[in-house]
Amino acid sequence: MSEVLRKGKAAKAVSYHLIEKTTEEKNTALEKIAQQLEREQDYLVTENQKDLDFGRSNGLSDSILDRMLLNKKRIEDMAHAIRLLIKLKDPIGETLETIEKENGLLIQKKRVPLGVIGMIYEARPNVTIDAATLSLKTGNAVILRGSSSSIHSNKALVSVIHRALEQTAIPQEAVQLIEDTSRETAKELFTLNEYLDVLIPRGGKKLIDTVVRESTVPVLETGAGNCHIYIDESADPTMSERIVLNGKTQRPSVCNAIETILIHEKWLQTSGEKLLQQLHDQSVEIYGDEQIRSIFPKAKPAAEEDWSTEYLALTVSVKSVKDLEEAIHHINKYGTKHSEAILTTNEGNASQFQTRVDAAAVYHNASTRFTDGFEFGYGAEIGISTQKLHARGPMGLPALTSSKHFIYGNGQIRE
Amino acid sequence: MSEVLRKGKAAKAVSYHLIEKTTEEKNTALEKIAQQLEREQDYLVTENQKDLDFGRSNGLSDSILDRMLLNKKRIEDMAHAIRLLIKLKDPIGETLETIEKENGLLIQKKRVPLGVIGMIYEARPNVTIDAATLSLKTGNAVILRGSSSSIHSNKALVSVIHRALEQTAIPQEAVQLIEDTSRETAKELFTLNEYLDVLIPRGGKKLIDTVVRESTVPVLETGAGNCHIYIDESADPTMSERIVLNGKTQRPSVCNAIETILIHEKWLQTSGEKLLQQLHDQSVEIYGDEQIRSIFPKAKPAAEEDWSTEYLALTVSVKSVKDLEEAIHHINKYGTKHSEAILTTNEGNASQFQTRVDAAAVYHNASTRFTDGFEFGYGAEIGISTQKLHARGPMGLPALTSSKHFIYGNGQIRE
CA pair distance A162, A29, nearest whole angstrom:
10
Q: What chain B residue is nearest to A391 in terms of C-alpha separation? A: B390
> CA-CA distances (angstroms) from residue A13 to A16, A145, A404, B332?
6, 19, 19, 10
Q: At what angle do helices B41-57 and B72-87 cross, to 10 degrees?
A: 120
Share of chain A above pLDDT 70, in %: 100
Share of chain B above pLDDT 70, in %: 100
Beta-carbon separation of A405 and B243 below 8 A: no
> Of the candidates A220, A359, A365, which has its C-beta nearest B410's C-beta?
A365
Contact status, residue A225 vs residue A236, Cβ threshold 8 Å: no
Instruction: Count other Cβ atoms within 10 Å, centred on residue B87.
Output: 8
CA pair distance B341, B323, nearest whole angstrom:
15
The reply to whether CATH 4.10.910.10 applies to domain B3-222+395-408 is no
With CA atoms as reference, report the closest residue to A111 among A404, A358, A410.
A404
Amino acid letter, A274: K
Three-state DSSP state, B17: helix
Opening angle at CA B371, ends B370 and B374, nearest 5: 80
Mean pLDDT, chain B, integer: 96
Q: Is the pLDDT of residue B14 over 90?
A: yes
Amino acid letter, A411: G
| A44 burial level (CB within 10 Å; 0-12, 13-18, 19+) | buried
Task: Tell me the CB-side half-sphere exposure of residue A38, using CA atoms within 13 A.
Answer: 13
Three-state DSSP state, B268: helix
Amino acid letter, A133: T
pLDDT at A19: 94
pLDDT at B240: 98
Taking the CA of residue B409 and the nearest CA in chain A, the distance in Å comes to 5
Query: Please, which pLDDT band fits residue A380 given cuts at 50, 70 and 90?
Result: confident
Q: Would strands B393-394 and B384-385 be described as parallel, antiparallel, or unpaired? A: antiparallel
Q: Which residues in B60-77 are b (16+ Cβ under 10 Å) and which e?
A: beeeeeebbbbeeebbee
Q: Could you report how far apart the first and last alpha carbons of chain A are, in Å?
A: 49
Beta-carbon separation of A114 and B388 below 8 A: yes
Lowest mean pLDDT among B158-167, B287-296, B378-387: B378-387
Q: Is the pLDDT of residue B334 over 80?
A: yes
Query: Please, which pLDDT band fits residue A62 given cuts at 50, 70 and 90?
Result: confident
Query: Please, which pLDDT band fits residue A67 given cuts at 50, 70 and 90?
Result: confident
CB neighbour list of residue A87: distance below 8 Å, 6 or more residues apart: A379
Contact status, residue A84 vs residue A379, Cβ threshold 8 Å: yes
What's the pLDDT tens digit per position in B62-84? 888 988 999 999 999 999 999 99
Q: What chain B residue is nearest to A99 in terms of C-alpha separation? A: B376
Instruction: Count other Cβ atoms within 10 Å, centred on residue A98.
Output: 11
Taking the CA of residue B4 and the nearest CA in chain A, the distance in Å comes to 19
CA pair distance A388, A392, nearest whole angstrom:
6
Query: Please, which pLDDT band fits residue A222 given cuts at 50, 70 and 90?
Result: confident
> Of the candidates B20, B377, B409, which has its C-beta nearest A364's C-beta?
B409
ipTM of predicted assembly, 2 dp: 0.93
Beta-carbon separation of A390 and B389 below 8 A: yes
Residue A402: list chain B partners with CB under 8 A: 388-389, 392
CA pair distance B92, B10, nearest whole angstrom:
22
Contact status, residue A222 vs residue A202, Cβ threshold 8 Å: yes
Q: State the SS3 of B160-220.
A: HHHHHHCCCCCCHHHEEECCCCCHHHHHHHHCCCCCCCEEEEECCHHHHHHHHHHCCCCEC
CA pair distance A367, A393, nearest whole angstrom:
15
pLDDT at A379: 85
pLDDT at B254: 87
Q: Is the pLDDT of residue A276 over 80?
A: yes
pLDDT at A303: 97
Beta-carbon separation of A101 and B411 below 8 A: no
CB neighbour list of residue B286: distance below 8 Å, 6 or more residues apart: B276, B279, B280, B292, B296, B298, B299, B300, B315, B316, B317, B318
Q: Quote the CATH superfamily of domain A3-220+395-408.
A: Aldehyde Dehydrogenase; Chain A, domain 1 (3.40.605.10)
Mean pLDDT, chain A, integer: 96
Domain ranges of chain A: 3-220+395-408, 227-370
With CA atoms as reference, report the closest residue to B212 among A414, A32, A219.
A219
Segment B348-363 shows an average pLDDT of 97
CA pair distance B138, B117, nearest whole angstrom:
11
Lowest mean pLDDT among A48-57, A60-69, A287-296, B17-26: A60-69
Query: Please, which pLDDT band fits residue A123 given cuts at 50, 70 and 90?
Result: confident
What's the pLDDT tens digit per position in B87-126? 999 999 999 999 999 999 999 999 999 999 999 998 789 9
Instruction: Count other Cβ atoms within 10 Å, centred on residue B348.
Output: 9
Beta-carbon separation of A367 and B412 below 8 A: yes
- Mutation target to probe the B interface, by most B beta carbons within 10 A, among A194, A413, A415 is A413
Amino acid letter, B198: V
Taking the CA of residue B36 and the nearest CA in chain A, the distance in Å comes to 31
CA pair distance A340, A318, nearest whole angstrom:
15
Please tell me which residue, B380 or A156, carries the higher pLDDT value.
A156
Q: Is the pLDDT of residue A254 over 90?
A: no
Residue B355: list chain A partners with CB under 8 A: 19-20
CA pair distance B230, B322, nearest whole angstrom:
11
Q: Is the pLDDT of residue B392 over 90?
A: yes
Q: Which fold has domain A227-370?
A: Aldehyde Dehydrogenase; Chain A, domain 2 (3.40.309)
Segment A92-111 shows an average pLDDT of 96
Segment B374-401 shows an average pLDDT of 93
Beta-carbon separation of A411 and B197 below 8 A: no
E strand or H helix at B73: helix B72-87
Q: Is the pLDDT of residue B379 over 90?
A: no
| A285 burial level (CB within 10 Å; 0-12, 13-18, 19+) | middle
Task: Tell me the CB-side half-sphere exposure of residue B77, using CA atoms within 13 A.
Answer: 10
> CA-CA distances (angstroms) from residue B180 to A103, A183, B148, B186?
46, 39, 8, 9
Taking the CA of residue B160 and the nearest CA in chain A, the distance in Å comes to 29
DSSP state of A219: B
CB neighbour list of residue A411: distance below 8 Å, 6 or more residues apart: B236, B239, B242, B243, B365, B366
Taking the CA of residue B202 and the nearest CA in chain A, the distance in Å comes to 18
Helix, strand and coil content of chain B, in percent to the nearest 5, comes to: 45, 20, 35
Q: What chain B residue is nearest to A374 in terms of C-alpha separation? A: B101
Query: Please, which pLDDT band fits residue A205 given cuts at 50, 70 and 90?
Result: confident
With CA atoms as reference, report the closest residue to B225 among B200, B241, B247.
B247
Q: Where are the beta strands (DSSP E) in B15-136?
A: 95-100, 106-113, 116-121
Alpha-carbon torsion (B398, B404, B406, B412), positive or negative: positive
Q: Is the pLDDT of residue B306 over 80?
A: yes
Taking the CA of residue B116 and the nearest CA in chain A, the distance in Å comes to 11
Q: Is the pLDDT of residue B159 over 80?
A: yes
Q: State the SS3 of A316-361.
A: EEEEEECCHHHHHHHHHHHCCCCEEEEECCCHHHHHHHHHHCCCCE
Segment B307-313 shows an average pLDDT of 93
